Structure 1
């Protein structure tokens, strides 16, 4: 309690007392849920006096309770106490309340025993990190996130429309950056205001598409937090400029989707990169980690591609890797090795969409790596550079198949906390039953008047 009050007092000294504080917690879909409190209610926040149902961690994408999770009304829908995550109190530069400052703070719900609820995606990532720490190892992580800016829509059924003057192929186009400078500058300024560490911001291939790269950090949880914050930040800044933004995996059929790439190296207790063998060839340890990520990719695809739209990225010609292959500096590979020697020796996992929950996606990447480190005899296919244009069998492009593979996976069961695999699968099955049963506009257009 005292730690938060001291953090809050320091915030007020720097930014002034906020008009309101936005209490946020991350659900299974990486949607932020929570409550607003007046800025003079810091004592209530500090002592966990704000409560919400624990089932709020695991709704479907529509925000509905999923009975099959075993949470919610089936067990009386008990509350948890929202407890602030230390160090997460930050200003909200794009928001204003009666002209005053707005603050946000990330929270976790604690159960009656005072523990973070096991349904928390952050807790799942911490669970995987603990397996590294038990071995005296610590991952170093950086993320890259892609997103689209588009014009505001009058109707939720409308397709997105790119900003005016957007070329159909704007990759690295400096004029696009010039035209969008005001909004991009505000995005970067807001990121720095929120203590993030963005590295570069570039124009990506699609019309209105951009990518941000973050610096590497050994604070893996902070890297995941920042990826979550950044999605909210971009949408907020875009609204302030009269635009909209999306991290949807594939908002346009004919243009590249939005990915979330995860770069990972691993250091030992002495700070030495365990992937660096001092040669120009990938070390045996790095190859083990790669083998683990590839071997678990089918099992965990439902984590990296959580939604119906996610699977539009897993098609030939979709600009995204869709086979469990690896390569050196090869962007067609699901796992790429940008550097294989020195302190920067690492792998880049390129499968996840920008729509993935960053805590669960990073947990899946790290879990696959540790699976490889613990199973040194896993086979590793040849790199794409040696495959003469051949690829491994493709990952599925079917949402239901991926979810059922995850639901039956012993790897997934052991990787996450007890019961979480089943909760996750139950949420996705509920979404599949609702979203795939809806009749689409294209079906009416094609069949209704012809058959």
Structure 2
């Protein structure tokens, strides 16, 4: 860590402050500001946070049912830096640095409720087999006009067409913002690939390069969301990765491409002969992620708003089905030959915790390889039957996850309990609120 700090100072000068960022269960970044000359406090183990900071509800409150927080005295955990994550924050005034931190348990062990540790444990399962996942994410977001109040509805930027798919003029109108986003990504080492105008009004998508550093891929998605919101806000606008900000426009998704290499660097999904279609192992992987998809839906759609993407005609895949280069499918196979043989998981919203989503997808692949579940016909096949749609009820998804053997095997029983407890608290709080729509149509009529 000392070398990371010295390299940072050599490149950027000594930071005025260092922002310590801990990723919680909802991928909200929580933490502290540290004076720029006090990194030794962090590396020396004297910076702490309540251990329950890993698992608050989206509203920010602790959830007693998790067994964390004040019910056990709300003990502290020691913050430790993640090597290689000390980066500049170029959209902030002054010399500001950020660094990702993890928290040790009160006993000094790596935290079993850290989303990063959950994914790390899954990667260890792959390493035991001599396998190494390679992943790439695609993230969609909307740019909005600034709002005066938090409950004001979103509005797209001026002169934005209702359907702007791949419209280069739309990209040019937001050139100042988008260019700064890409420059900040470069400054932070977030390896972007392409940037496009997506279908919705004011919607954009950034693709990231494939990488065998799966932890870094998750971190890239988390940090990118912070970066985009910060830069767009600096330009007097607002950005959101909310799953469905507009009822009549496409939602924001996070697509994940995944292949697996063996120790020799060979793609285990490639067929024996080119042009023969998906290999048996790739089919097993697809069958596994389809078989676990409904049980893990709350990982791919963690919030109340997320379920608006699973309504009919919502512009998003909504069932555990698959196809060959078919974007209507929940799982798409863009390539089936050679080094590029992979699956693309298209169910997740952009509002997810990337660590947990990658864990769920990789866990589903192992389930398919180990148990060889039945694989339905691809939706491209005229004989294919329509797959049962994924649910559109948040509470049902939480309950299914809480009782799921798949969830317990992939995430562990303890984390399944913590995640379900947090989501149940959010369900009870948010669905218990009476909305303005109910007052408008019911209060004076009934």
* TM > 0.5 fold call: yes
Match of 1:223 in 2: 217
Superposition deviation, residue 390 in structure 1: 4.4
Superposition deviation, residue 418 in structure 1: 4.0
Match of 1:327 in 2: 323
Superposition deviation, residue 309 in structure 1: 0.2
Point out where structure 2 has 5 or more consecutive residues left out of the alignment: none
Match of 2:154 in 1: 160
1:51 aligns with 2:48: yes
Match of 1:410 in 2: 405
Which residue, out of 160, 166, 179, partners 1:172? Answer: 166
CA 1:388–1:165 in structure 2 vs 1: closer, same or farther (change >3 Å)?
A: farther
Q: CA RMSD in A?
A: 0.9
Superposition deviation, residue 238 in structure 1: 0.3
Secondary structure at 1:354's aligned position in 2? Answer: coil
Separation of aligned partners in 2, 1:127 and 1:121:
10
Separation of aligned partners in 1, 2:38 and 2:413:
36
Separation of aligned partners in 1, 2:71 and 2:317:
41
Separation of aligned partners in 1, 2:413 and 2:330:
28
Which residue, out of 335, 338, 351, partners 1:339? Answer: 335
Separation of aligned partners in 2, 1:356 and 1:154:
26
Separation of aligned partners in 1, 2:316 and 2:383:
19
Separation of aligned partners in 1, 2:227 and 2:345:
24
CA contact (8 A) 2:140 2:203 kept: yes
Aligned residues: 444
1:395 aligns with 2:374: no
Secondary structure at 2:31's aligned position in 1? Answer: strand
Match of 2:66 in 1: 69
TM-score of the superposed pair, with normalisation by structure 1: 0.97
Point out where structure 1 has 5 or more consecutive residues left out of the alignment: none
Secondary structure at 2:339's aligned position in 1? Answer: coil
Superposition deviation, residue 279 in structure 1: 2.5
Separation of aligned partners in 2, 1:127 and 1:168:
44
Q: Deviations over 1:409-440 (max 9, x none)?
A: 01101111340000000000011111001011
The residue correspondences of 1:135-146 to structure 2 (distance < 5 A) are 135-146=129-140
The residue correspondences of 1:60-139 to structure 2 (distance < 5 A) are 60-96=57-93, 100-139=94-133
CA contact (8 A) 1:263 1:348 kept: yes
Separation of aligned partners in 1, 2:125 and 2:369:
11
Which residue, out of 274, 291, 298, partners 1:295? Answer: 291
Superposition deviation, residue 152 in structure 1: 1.2
Match of 1:385 in 2: 380
Q: Deviations over 1:178-224 (max 9, x none)?
A: 10111000000000100010000100000000000000000000000
CA contact (8 A) 2:377 2:384 kept: no
Which residue, out of 305, 313, 316, partners 2:312? Answer: 316
Which stretch of structure 1 is more off in the superposition, 260-269 or 127-136? 127-136
Separation of aligned partners in 1, 2:75 and 2:106:
10
Match of 1:181 in 2: 175
1:207 aligns with 2:201: yes
CA contact (8 A) 1:127 1:417 kept: no
CA 1:438–1:215 in structure 2 vs 1: closer, same or farther (change >3 Å)?
A: same
TM-score of the superposed pair, with normalisation by structure 2: 0.98
Q: Deviations over 1:106-156 (max 9, x none)?
A: 000012443221110001111111111111001000000000000111011
